[in-house]
Structure formats: structure tokens, C-alpha cells
């Protein structure tokens, strides 16, 4: 294990982190291997009203926790509606998409276990900080 933090706690301020995505939805990566975290990656994504992600599948577990707003997670067979304070665990291999089903911005905390999908997020356009 490589300790990139020098044994210190790392504090991340989302006001200062880059946003990866576009004007409709963008993620900020809070923790991954770049700061010495192993096995999981954590971030926050904001979806503007009426925004939705594309249908996708992951090879890792995806955990989402709703910070603000109303989300729908749509699979091939079901639609799950989540509101502030609710969480969902999406198993590997499940095709799904995320939708802001409310009229306000949707903010979700995401966790990937193990790490991996955050690398694709980093390749998206940087929309600002």
C-alpha cells in the first residue's frame, strides 16, 4: 500500500474540485487511488432538472446515496424512485440509467467498489470547478 497522504487526513472541498461532465450532469471525484484510497472510489454527481444519464452497465458494485432531489434508477425491468436520505446498491452486470425525476437539482453520492469507473469519469470534459 502506498500512502500518498503522508499519514494525514485528506479534506476535499467540492467548491475547489473539477467537475467532469457537461452542463446537464457532472461528477466530482472525492476519493480514489490518486489520494491513496484503495478498493473504492467516492464522488458526488449533480443532475440538473430533466437530465438523465445514458443506459450503462458496470463491472463493479455501484452504491448511490441521495443528498438532495428525486432520482429514478431505471433498469430493463423496473424503475426505482429515491429521495433524499435513501440509498441503492446496483449489482455488477445490471444495465441501468440515472434520471433526475424532480424539479430541483439532484445531488447523489456515489461509491464504486472496487475502483474502476472513476477513470472513465476523469476522461469526460472538465466543466469547471
- Whether pLDDT at 30 is above 60: yes
Distances from the Cα of 20 to the Cαs of 4, 103, 114, in angstroms?
23, 22, 20
pLDDT value of residue 14: 87
Q: Which residues pair with 107 in a beta bridge?
A: 46, 68
pLDDT value of residue 5: 62
The rounded distance, in Å, linking the Cα atoms of 44 and 20 is: 10
pLDDT mean over 8-33: 92
Query: CB–CB of 100/52 below 8 Å?
Result: yes
pLDDT value of residue 3: 61
Instruction: Summarize pLDDT for 53-67 with one digit per residue, the tens.
Output: 999 999 999 999 999
- Whether pLDDT at 8 is above 90: no
Domains of the chain are 25-124 (2.60.120.10)
Query: CB–CB of 46/66 below 8 Å?
Result: no
Q: Which helix (H) or strand (E) holds 98?
A: strand 96-100
Amino acid at each position: 500500500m502506498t500512502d500518498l497522504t503522508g499519514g494525514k487526513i485528506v479534506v476535499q472541498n467540492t467548491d475547489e474540485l473539477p467537475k467532469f461532465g457537461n452542463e446537464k450532469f457532472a461528477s466530482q471525484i472525492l476519493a480514489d487511488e490518486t489520494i491513496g484510497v484503495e478498493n473504492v472510489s467516492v464522488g458526488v454527481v449533480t443532475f440538473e432538472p430533466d437530465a438523465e444519464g445514458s443506459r450503462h452497465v458496470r463491472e463493479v458494485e455501484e452504491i448511490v446515496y441521495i443528498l438532495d432531489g428525486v432520482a429514478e434508477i431505471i433498469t430493463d425491468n423496473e424503475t426505482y424512485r429515491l429521495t433524499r436520505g435513501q440509498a441503492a446498491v446496483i449489482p455488477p452486470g445490471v444495465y441501468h440509467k440515472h434520471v433526475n425525476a424532480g424539479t430541483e437539482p439532484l445531488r447523489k453520492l456515489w461509491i464504486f467498489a472496487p475502483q474502476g469507473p472513476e477513470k472513465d469519469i476523469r476522461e469526460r470534459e472538465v466543466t469547471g470547478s
